[in-house]
């Protein structure tokens, strides 16, 4: 028979064990460490590797970006990462310091592998909370001339949410012009897309998009897309990808005439980045749409963006855009729109 005193002893033991285990786990979680060729190191939390740089939350300093070429090795064992390599492979595991300078050891569930730091195209840690999985950018620019009393405001931004196999992106841009009397949204794009990694270098994508373009006579277009995407190549300072799929549109022109249509979609993306002065990132995207419901209708949408880093996470942004429609929604005649905008961008 269990006495009251023995019962109390069991209860104390039962309550003490979880506390001891929690304390042991808390104190055993090692900090991540970046090792440099000059034999120095910093301690903190490795957040990601992308575009040839490691993003690291250093203790007592804050978030910093370090070029891969300066890193001798990495030790990060407190959580797992998804690693994409330049040769198109995808690895899962935590990182151990290698005895060979310039390399790291990926400790996976089944086996370990040593590879050069410079061979990592993307490395991503998926946070424990919703907020820690979110990254993005926001930028804005403004122009005004007194002689015409016309102002022009442009804003754009993007937010990404990452999990182990997926990426969800919400982005948009808008140009607003106004005079002393009225204002108008001249051009607008707002989209939400979801990508699921089905194999190394391959992804399935779905999305929805809203567009407005006064120059083309388009009051609004709602578009739903689905397709397959593939990384074409990955290099230390550049990468390219392509996508093919279908698009379903619901359009309304400035005269309120409506049209539903279906299209075949092709898209190409290219990024080039440099980390010597000046620090530049050049991004190019071109989308083509061939109608399967309206004869001889072809549309093109494209953007070229250049980001010049002023200080950490702050950039001067330059963007050139163009749009072409062989049968404008308003006039049924070919029409083209293009422009150039500049502003300041912040990355978070």
- Tens of pLDDT, residue by residue over 66-92, are 888 889 999 998 777 888 888 878 888
Which has more confidence, 124 or 245? 245
Could you read off the pLDDT of 300-318 as tens digits, one per residue?
A: 999 999 988 887 778 888 9
- DSSP characters for 32-61? EEEEETTS-EEEEEEEEEETTEEEEEETTT
Under the banding of pLDDT at 50, 70 and 90, the label for residue 222 is very high
Contact 112, 94 (CB under 8 A): no
Is the domain of 194 the same as that of 254? yes
Which has more confidence, 225 or 121? 225
Instruction: Choose one of 87, 107, 124: the last residue of a domain.
Output: 124
pLDDT at 293: 93
Greatest mean pLDDT among 61-70, 106-115, 211-220 lies in 211-220
- DSSP characters for 256-299? --EEEEEEEEEEEEEEEEE-SSS-EEEEEEEEEEEESSSTT-EE
pLDDT at 146: 58
pLDDT at 323 over 90: yes
Q: Is the peptide bond before 199 cis (omega within 30 degrees of 0)?
A: no
CA–CA gap between residue 230 and residue 195 (Å, rounded):
11
pLDDT at 145: 58
Instruction: Choose one of 124, 150, 176: the last residue of a domain.
Output: 124
pLDDT at 14 over 80: no
pLDDT at 327: 86
* Residue 57, token pair as written in the block: 């939350």
Contact 84, 122 (CB under 8 A): yes
Taking residues 249-262, report their average pLDDT.
92
Instruction: Choose one of 105, 124, 143: the last residue of a domain.
Output: 124
Q: How many structural domains comprise the chain?
A: 2
Is the domain of 193 the same as that of 260? yes
Under the banding of pLDDT at 50, 70 and 90, the label for residue 104 is very high
pLDDT at 276: 62
In this structure, is residue 235 part of a structural domain? yes
pLDDT at 111 over 60: yes
pLDDT at 24: 40
Contact 261, 247 (CB under 8 A): no
| Neighbouring residues of 147: CB distance < 8 A, sequence distance ≥ 6 | none
pLDDT at 126: 64
Q: Residue 281: which CATH number?
A: 2.40.160.40
Min mean pLDDT across 2-6, 76-80, 159-163, 287-291 is at 2-6
Is the domain of 295 the same as that of 158? yes
pLDDT at 22: 39
SS3 of 348, please? Answer: coil
Is the domain of 92 the same as that of 204? no
Is the domain of 65 the same as that of 213? no
In this structure, is residue 19 part of a structural domain? no
> What are φ and ψ of residue 18, in 5° steps?
-60, -40
pLDDT at 224 over 90: yes
Is the domain of 237 the same as that of 148? yes
Under the banding of pLDDT at 50, 70 and 90, the label for residue 19 is very low
Is the domain of 118 the same as that of 256? no
pLDDT at 23: 41
Is the domain of 93 the same as that of 153? no
Is the domain of 172 the same as that of 299? yes
pLDDT at 10: 43
Is the domain of 199 the same as that of 319? yes
Is the domain of 168 the same as that of 98? no
Q: Could you tell me the residue range of the domain that residue 319 belongs to?
A: 131-347
Could you read off the pLDDT of 328-348 as tens digits, one per residue?
A: 887 777 789 998 888 888 876
Under the banding of pLDDT at 50, 70 and 90, the label for residue 272 is confident
The structure's pTM equals 0.71
In this structure, is residue 294 part of a structural domain? yes
Query: What is the enclosing helix (H) or strand (E) of 231?
Result: strand 218-234
- For the chain, the maximum distance between any two Cα atoms, rounded to a whole number of angstroms, is 98
Which has more confidence, 279 or 276? 279
In this structure, is residue 9 part of a structural domain? no
Could you read off the pLDDT of 174-202 as tens digits, one per residue?
A: 998 877 677 788 899 999 999 998 887 88
In this structure, is residue 8 part of a structural domain? no
């Amino acid at each position: 028979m269990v006495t009251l005193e023995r019962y109390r002893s069991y209860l104390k033991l039962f309550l003490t064990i979880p506390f001891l285990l929690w304390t042991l786990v808390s104190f055993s979680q090692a900090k991540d460490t970046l090792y440099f060729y000059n034999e120095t190191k910093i301690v903190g939390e490795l957040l990601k590797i992308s575009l040839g740089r490691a993003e690291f939350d250093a203790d007592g300093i804050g978030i910093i970006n370090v070029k891969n070429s300066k890193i001798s090795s990495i030790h990060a064992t407190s959580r797992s990462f998804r690693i994409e390599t330049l040769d198109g492979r995808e690895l899962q595991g935590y990182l151990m310091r290698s005895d060979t300078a310039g390399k790291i050891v990926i400790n996976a569930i089944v086996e370990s592998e040593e590879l050069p730091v410079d061979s990592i195209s993307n490395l991503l840690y998926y946070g424990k909370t919703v907020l820690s999985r979110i990254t993005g950018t926001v930028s804005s620019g403004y122009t005004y001339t007194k002689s015409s009393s016309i102002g022009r405001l442009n804003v754009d931004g993007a937010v990404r949410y990452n999990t182990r196999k997926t990426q969800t992106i919400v982005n948009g841009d808008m140009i607003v012009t106004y005079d002393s009397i009225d204002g108008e949204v001249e051009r607008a794009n707002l989209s939400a897309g979801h990508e699921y990694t089905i194999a190394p270098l391959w992804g399935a994508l779905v999305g929805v998009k809203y567009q407005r373009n006064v120059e083309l006579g388009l009051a609004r277009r709602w578009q739903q897309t689905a397709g397959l995407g593939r990384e074409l190549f990955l290099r230390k300072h550049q990468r390219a990808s392509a996508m093919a799929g279908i698009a379903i549109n619901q359009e309304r022109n400035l005269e309120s005439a409506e049209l539903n249509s279906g299209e075949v979609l092709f898209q190409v993306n290219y990024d080039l980045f440099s980390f010597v002065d000046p620090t530049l990132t050049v991004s190019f995207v071109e989308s083509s749409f061939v109608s399967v419901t309206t004869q001889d209708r072809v549309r093109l949408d494209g953007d070229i963006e250049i980001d010049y880093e002023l200080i950490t996470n702050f950039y001067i942004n330059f963007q050139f855009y163009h749009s072409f429609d062989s049968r404008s929604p308003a006039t049924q005649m070919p029409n083209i729109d293009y422009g150039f905008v500049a502003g300041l961008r912040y990355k978070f």
